Structure 1
Amino acid sequence: MKKWLIGICSVFLLFFWAGIPNASAASSKFIIINKSSNKLAYYENSQLKRVFKVGTGRSQSLTPEGKFRIVQKIVNRPYYTGNIPGGDPRNPLGNRWMGFNARGTSGSTYGIHGNNNPASIGGYVSSGCVRMYDNEVEWLFEQVPIHTAVIITSSGKSFDAIAKAYGYSTKPGGNPDYAGVTLKKGSQGEAVAQLQRKLTSSGFSPGGIDGIFGSATDRAVRAFQKSRGLTVDGIAGPATWSALNKSAPPQSGSSLMNSGLLKRGSKGAAVKELQQRLTAKGYSTRGADGIFGPNTEKAVKAFQKARGLAVDGLVGPATKRSLLK
């Protein structure tokens, strides 16, 4: 009898000890999904590490909101509804599945997963799950242990503010870090969008901020590499990221500050700097050509609305001061 009890206790302790690292790791990491922007934020040790574009439910109610936990992790999960095996290019679940326990389910109904239709990422397209680009969900899958918290909401607040509302503290300066991500022609996702922003703010236009590494982005990367004496291969690896992160944006004493009122139809260096600064702040002008056209006006208005300024599309002293901060 004693031997039997000792054996049971030993097995219990073994499972208990084995679960500690996993639970500990999960407690230092959490995910926030904001359906209003269709973005997913990954936090580690209270600091924002990466932000990804995602696809969510076709209607507001399909993707559940609240705080859940990752309870399943599966590589190449089959798509049972269509009898499509895991790993098949036709599989709409992609190659990674992280199921969370929403609405009393066990992790097999709702999940964060890849997808065989990259064009759907960013839209309201699913039956309730959260879609990601395959290459990005692969990275996230490796970071996230079972029991990791998943917060899903629809909010106009920042990710840090959402985290605070759910009882999580965050550290300042948690900017998404993509320096360790190697990108090349054909890559897609938020890391590519960040690359395009940095190229634009450095004066090398990728033709817009769409998160797709196409021919224009390839040309911009090569031009930047050539200007910095790097290997000109069109691949944004560690050396290119390092040079981009050191590349200074236009200074506050430049043509934008010294220009007059800028509006639709304006042209020149001040407009080009305006476009670079807007793009660097996340308001795409679809290029920095020095011509104040409809895309630049749209970006100006979006920036003005976000900063509580008069939304008139005119770049006067108040808008300039806010841009130059």
Structure 2
Amino acid sequence: MLKKWLIVFCSVFLLFFWAGIPGASAAATKFIIINKSSNKLAYYEDSKLKRVFKVGTGRSQSLTPEGKFKIVQKIINRPYYKGNIPGGDPRNPLGNRWMGFNARGTSGSTYGIHGNNNPGSIGGYVSSGCVRMYDNEVEWLYSQVPINTVVIITSSGKSFDAIAKSYGYNVKPGGNTGTTGDTLKIGSRGDAVADLQRKLTKLGFNTGGIDGVFGPATDKAVRAFQKSKRLTADGIVGPKTWSALNGSSSQPGTTLANSGTLRKGSKGSAVKELQQRLTARGYNTRGTDGIFGANTEKAVIALQKASRLTTDGGVGPAKKKAILK
């Protein structure tokens, strides 16, 4: 009888143990490190540094808490209750994404990683304790991290890999150490170039694709953007060009959201925004000319299929939600 009881006990124990391994392993594959000394945020996936971003943190050393926390809230277009500003409003200082973490015994509504309506503040010591990002960059991060993702906040002179190791993570070498905002020019490659291409495409400057390679088409798009902002049109993406890009892309267009149903033959600014958004998401419309032609229709149908929507090539309210999300 005792032997039978021990067999049952061990079987149940092993079942729970094995069942727990995948969840624990999956939770450990993604984590975030924020270093207040450099005001940079590192995103790790599968034990490898994937992207690094500039952030804004607390006005004084004590405002942004340090330690190991977890993301416990995720909200799109969170209202700014203190100022009675609705979510999605261009005046909202929380931007378009909120990822709240449970620092100092809070429930995720006090401290968060969020967007911002003042791109010039990113990189500085500016907040009341939260971590600010550019709107378009926090959108990307929001799409990557699930609830319970670990957030480590520290002030350190160490590399991100060294900080990760000090918290018990076995990180792999060779991750992307380039920060979005680094100086880029023809010949540059990597995630920062892909991010540059997304921003330019979203603004209507055709880079010929989003492949992470700074080639002639990207150079041409950069020069056109620089010229439109009255910057030196040298094709080199330095601090001034990044600032102009982030300032422009932080205010997404609303023409598409407020337009009627679009379909083949439609023309105008709403179609152009549709083309920009489709191209930025990898559905190539082969140009952003504001004319809903065969290539735009093909891109719309591809997105509809991926989103499991009716594949009629038209863009009505339901299709807009899929494109604007």
Q: TM-score, normalised by structure 2?
A: 0.53
Letter in 2 for 1:197: L
- Is the contact made by 2:43 and 2:49 (CA closer than 8 Å) also made in structure 1? yes
- Is the contact made by 2:100 and 2:110 (CA closer than 8 Å) also made in structure 1? yes
- Is the contact made by 1:96 and 1:134 (CA closer than 8 Å) also made in structure 2? yes
The alignment status of 1:31 with 2:32, answered yes or no, reads yes
CA offsets 1:151-173 (integer angstroms, 9 cap, x no match): 00011110000000111110011
CA offsets 1:97-135 (integer angstroms, 9 cap, x no match): 000000010100000000000010000000000000000
Distance in 2, matches of 1:30 and 1:169, equals 12
Partner of 1:197: 184
CA offsets 1:138-192 (integer angstroms, 9 cap, x no match): 0000100000000000111100000001111100111258xxxxxxxxxxxx43x
Distance in 2, matches of 1:37 and 1:158, equals 10
Distance in 2, matches of 1:127 and 1:235, equals 38
Distance in 1, matches of 2:92 and 2:147, equals 23
- Is the contact made by 2:58 and 2:127 (CA closer than 8 Å) also made in structure 1? yes
Task: List aligned pairs for 1:71-220, cutoff 5 A.
Answer: 71-176=72-177, 190-191=179-180, 193-194=181-182, 196-199=183-186
- Is the contact made by 2:56 and 2:125 (CA closer than 8 Å) also made in structure 1? yes
Distance in 2, matches of 1:119 and 1:89, equals 15
SS of equivalent residue, structure 1 residue 64 = coil
Q: Tell me how many residue pairs correspond in the alignment.
A: 195
RMSD: 3.5
Instruction: Give the unaligned 5+ runs of structure 2.
Output: 1-19, 217-235, 241-325
Query: In the alignment, which of 206, 213, 237 is matched to residue 241 of structure 1?
Result: 213
Question: 1:240: Cα distance to partner?
Answer: 6.1
Partner of 1:229: none
CA offsets 1:256-284 (integer angstroms, 9 cap, x no match): xxxxxxxxxxxxxxxxxxxxxxx9xxxx8
- Is the contact made by 2:185 and 2:214 (CA closer than 8 Å) also made in structure 1? no
Distance in 2, matches of 1:167 and 1:20, equals 17
SS of equivalent residue, structure 2 residue 184 = helix
Task: List aligned pairs for 1:314-325, cutoff 5 A.
Answer: none
Distance in 2, matches of 1:157 and 1:62, equals 21
Letter in 2 for 1:155: S
Equivalent pairs: percent with the same residue? 76
Question: 1:70: Cα distance to partner?
Answer: 0.3
SS of equivalent residue, structure 1 residue 168 = coil
- Is the contact made by 1:67 and 1:150 (CA closer than 8 Å) also made in structure 2? yes
Distance in 2, matches of 1:74 and 1:23, equals 24
Letter in 2 for 1:43: Y
Letter in 1 for 2:60: S
Question: 1:235: Cα distance to partner?
Answer: 2.5
Letter in 1 for 2:62: S
- Is the contact made by 1:66 and 1:153 (CA closer than 8 Å) also made in structure 2? yes
Letter in 2 for 1:125: V
Distance in 2, matches of 1:285 and 1:149, equals 31
Question: 1:26: Cα distance to partner?
Answer: 3.0
Distance in 1, matches of 2:46 and 2:184, equals 26
Q: TM-score, normalised by structure 1?
A: 0.53
Alpha carbons of 1:85 and 1:39: their partners in 2 closer, same or farther (altered >3 Å)? same
- Is the contact made by 2:36 and 2:153 (CA closer than 8 Å) also made in structure 1? yes
Alpha carbons of 1:285 and 1:71: their partners in 2 closer, same or farther (altered >3 Å)? closer
Question: 1:197: Cα distance to partner?
Answer: 3.3
